[in-house]
Amino acid sequence: MALNEQKLQRQFSARRILLPAALGLGVVGYMLYRSYEPEQVQTLLQASLPWLGITLLVLLIRDLGYIYRIHYITDKVLSWKKSFRVIMLWEFASCALPSAVGGSTVAAFILYKENIPLGKSIAQVMVTVLLDNLYFVLAVPVVFLLAQEAAMPALDALTPTMRSSLEIAIIVSYVFVSLYAGLMSYALFFNPKGIKRLLIRISTVKFMKRWRLSLLNHANELLLASRHMRNKSLSYWARASVSTFFVWTARYTIIGCMIAAFTYLSADEHLLVFARNLVYKVILMMSVTPGAAGFAEIAFPAFFGMFLGGFTTVIVLLYRLLTYYLYLVIGAIVFPRWAAYAFSKSNKSEKEKATEEAVLTENPSA
């Protein structure tokens, strides 16, 4: 595979983890310095304990949903303990790598080192990516239909030019994700060889040649994934789909629960926060910093400041502690132990590895 122990260690080096963490905390510290007022301490102490409990419960549901999904998507090859470890490493990768890259780039390698054959590990990661994209494709029209223009940040938070650029970015992102989800679905379930030939032809276009190798690898990965996934049972897809729904609904609900712990939110406002969170996450995907560090903190008030006023910065800190720094800490604990386990022994025979690599890098004209 493209990754090995040295490359993985470099991806998760202390410098690459500490720098974005320091950047995020630095931005929050500056925001606190600019907006701190003594009465914020009293507001913090008067937080609604039931809503704080619900926030933690939603976070737990999200992680349990991820663990449940990977356990069944891998056909229970991963035990519950290994499923927990894989998800924590996956979240760790998402926090330690730029948002545009994401944790899925190393997820197949992690599964591979957990004794799942290369073809299957690629297929299983592709299934999770496909389901995640489909959730986004289906959720966006629903929440925008209900929230309408209020789903976008207020005009006083953005200039007209920035707002127009944001709207264009949302539309482009939605179209791209929809096309990608549709292409993956068609390739996995209907015509993998046809899509493979299409990607090969695209790779021959002059301005696409710099991505030729990536396109050829992706074409072969789609073919491998299709072989593993086309005959799965209805129960398999039902479990994967339902768990994906719970995972992402919980993920987009956390901010609303946290805000409700400090100020009253009506049902309509909860929906509005959910809708804005969808837009917020699209913006974070454009960040070049690991885990959108710094960028997430700066963008947060534009989307959710109207509900919290001067207390917004405190919520930014609490939100990032729960959804970013927590997984950096857990990952920093889990990763060294996992690396020692994964690389200290040969998880597969050299013959099996060579066979799988040969399949993955087969003649692209096949």
Q: What is the pLDDT along the chain (366 residues), one digit of tens a residue?
A: 445 556 666 666 666 667 777 777 787 777 776 766 667 677 777 888 999 999 999 999 999 999 999 999 998 889 999 999 999 988 888 887 765 555 666 788 888 888 887 778 888 888 898 899 999 999 888 888 888 777 777 656 556 676 677 778 778 888 888 888 888 888 888 887 887 787 778 777 777 767 677 777 777 777 777 777 777 888 889 999 999 999 999 999 999 999 999 888 899 899 999 998 988 887 777 777 777 777 888 888 888 888 887 788 888 888 888 888 888 888 888 888 888 877 775 544 444 454 544 544 454 444
HEC secondary structure over the chain: CCCCHHHHHHHCCHHHHHHHHHHHHHHHHHHHHHHCCCHHHHHHHCCCHHHHHHHHHHHHHHHHHHHHHHHHHCCCCCCHHHHHHHHHHHHHHHHHCECCCCCHHHHHHHHHCCCCCHHHHHHHHHHHHHHHHHHHHHHHHHHHHHHHHHHCCCCCCCCHHHHHHHHHHHHHHHHHHHHHHHHHHHHHHCCHHHHHHHHHHHHCCHHHHHHHHHHHHHHHHHHHHHHHHCCCCHHHHHHHHHHHHHHHHHHHHHHHHHHHCCCCCCHHHHHHHHHHHHHHHHHHHCCCCECCCCHHHHHHHHHHHHHHHHHHHHHHHHHHHHHHHHHHHHHHHHHHHHHHHHHCCCCCCHHHHHHHHHHHCCCCCC
Q: Are 183 and 225 in contact (CB under 8 A)?
A: no
> Roughly how many angstroms between the first and final C-alpha of the chain, as a whole number?
21
Query: What is the distance between the alpha carbons of residues 101 and 287, in angstroms, rounded to a whole number?
Result: 10
Q: Are 319 and 305 in contact (CB under 8 A)?
A: no
The model carries a pTM of: 0.82
- Select from 92, 95, 88 the least CA-distant residue to 70: 88
